[in-house]
Chain A
Amino acid sequence: MKTFVGLFATAAAFGFAIAIAYWYVAHKEAAGTVLLGIMGAALTFTATYALAAEREAKLEGDNPNETNEEAAGDVLGVFTTQSPWPILIAFCTLALFVGLLWVPVLGAAGLVGMLLCFWRLGAESARV
């Protein structure tokens, strides 16, 4: 987990450093400076969240000498093996995009379909 925090923090610092360097070298060119600055900001956000989460996390994978016996327990939860909703979500996404451009009714159906799929996904998650 520490590696995870370090990775994002280093990347964030790099994002800001290169944004500043670009702003200076490229004579205050706006588009690139904003793109790189947003990149630094987004990485900072993730690094900050990871830092907060890291304090509470205890990951078996972080301990080089952890044994299976020590790590035993239902900590990972249950993984589903079948679900019809992901493929339906993909079809609804396509309907939404196509509908937005040409057939508003299809777009609305796609949106409603997606919401239904997400609702059923939630119910499915609650069951497992």
Chain B
Amino acid sequence: MIEWLTTTDHKKIGIMYVVFVLAFFVIAGVLAGLIRAQLAVPNNTLLGAHAYNQVFTLHGTAMIFLVIAPFGFGLANFLVPLQIGAPDVAFPRLNAAGLWLFVLGGLTVFAGLATYGGAAATGWTAYAPLNEYFVGTGAGQDLFFIGLLMTSISTILTSINLLVTVFLLRAPGMTMWRIPIFTWEIVATSLLVLMAFPSLAAAFAMALIDRHMGAHFFDPAFGGNPVLYQHLFWFFGHPEVYVLILPYFGMITEIIATFSRKPVFGYVGMVISAFAIAGLSLGVWAHHMFTTGAVSNPFFSAVSFLIAVPTGVKFVNWIGTMWKGAISLTVPMLFAVGFLLNFLIGGITGVMIASPPIDYQAHDSYFIVQHFHYTIGGGSLFALFGALYFWFPKMFGFRLDERLGRWVFALLFLGFNATFIPMGFMGMEGMARRVYTYPAVGHLPMLNAIATLGSALMALGAILFFVEVLLAVRRRIPAGDNPWGAYTLEWMTSSPPPEFNFETLPAVRSRRPAL
């Protein structure tokens, strides 16, 4: 136990990230189940308004800050040094500090539940002036800010660490243009974090100063400006969407290339598109603010349309990689294909609401809920599961069961689409998001009932996944060093890898050193 608490080995830290992420995922999943149970029928009284506000706030916060983003960095912790042939990350102790800041930050957010007035209830965006004065913004709201400040610091520290590691600790022959696409995506993501996260820290620090020291940064009654909070928040918030997706683009690129038995189609295009997405994402923040009337809608609309281009390039590259390949539909590959289908829906609905006239109609409706769940849930979450199945043998030396894995995929894919397709129609029928109940009008009762049934299927899939992990741990069937016939450097060492990663460093003379 003490060995794990004090470890600075990047592999153990990476594994602990994954374990804590899965724990937070379970909590966030239970909260999602509560949301869907409350909305299963009209005029339901299972949860009161304030309890519902806390539940959806904690669900969103956990999924974004404690599951999707840290999983990418956790996996990067495990993989990046292995993929570039380094013995560890550049600053191992800074890395360990990052992990524990993330864990304690997450627990601090949830500690709000134990306070009088409950946890934060202002949504994951915690808009001003809502976060300053109103009911349900007591100590729980403060703990929300403190917890997320800690996770932000953790993410910034980890990003610096990974950037320095990639730039300075590559093995002989591992030039920048030979590093795997996953590592490139982590470089782009880390740069994005360094640009965007300080803005979030500033917004939260200013809100805390407003709350406790009598400042009025965001209080219009005293000359403050709540729209400034939105600017600061979304200057982080939209790049954050790409922090949540770029590492997952990298994961599925590796999976698709491995199971298509082909090199990545358009390697250079993949890299350039990652940086184009990262750069453009810094210029689209106010498309979340079209309806405030306080931003330049033409500018943000144009850049938002533009960002679809490099994302489209990635789709072409993934399809190009699969084209005429010897595709084997293993469980990781199924999740990668599921990712492509779901993320495409998320991307296309994103292009729709990049248009201000459409956004004025869809804003704050369930259409938006559908859109971002298709990008972050249907995209990142499916890639997360694909990555778990793919790299599990490297982490632990044994693999997950393929047959059960197919059931997990089927339940999650069917459940996900049954949950979120109806939400687009709910939005078009005018159902607002973040409402704790709704009247029995139009198709809303039927659509909500289908969505709740879908979420039950997803829950079954998630439970089956954890059963599968437990079975794999009990059986411990050895996987071998390279069970998938993959091509990147991490597959050239033992499973699990030894301390400092490689007994003998292999010669790197191409982008596919393991072949």
Where the two chains meet, the residues of A that have a C-beta atom closer than 8 Å to any C-beta of B are 1, 3-4, 7, 10-11, 14-15, 18, 21-22, 25-27, 29, 31-32, 35-36, 39, 42-43, 57, 59-68, 70-71, 76, 79-87, 89-91, 93-94, 97-98, 101-102, 121, 124
Contact = CB atoms under 8 A, between A and B. Distances in A.
B172 A60 contact: yes
Contact of B171 (A60, A80, A86, A91): A60
A98 B194 CA distance: 25
B175 A64 contact: yes
Interface in B107-151: 108, 139, 142, 146, 149-150
Contact of A68 (B96, B103, B505): B505
Given A66-B172, A83-B93, A90 B282 contact: no
A86 B93 contact: yes
A7 B167 CA distance: 11
B327 to A, nearest CB: 31
Given A82-B7, A86-B8, A101-B146, 9 more contacts: A3-B176, A11-B279, A29-B296, A59-B168, A66-B173, A79-B8, A85-B97, A86-B100, A90-B150
Contacts of B105: 94
A39 B153 contact: no
B503 interface: no
Contact of B172 (A71, A79, A80, A121): A71
Contact of B500 (A35, A79, A91): A79
B106 to A, nearest CB: 11
Contacts of A35: 199, 231-232, 235
A36 B282 contact: yes
Contact of B97 (A10, A15, A59, A86): A86
Contacts of B499: 81
Contacts of B8: 79-83, 86
Interface in B2-24: 3, 5-9
A61 B175 contact: yes
Contacts of B176: 3-4, 61-62
Contact of A101 (B9, B212, B232): B212
A61 to B, nearest CB: 3
Interface stretch (B84-92, B332-340, B423-431): B84-92
B150 A94 contact: yes
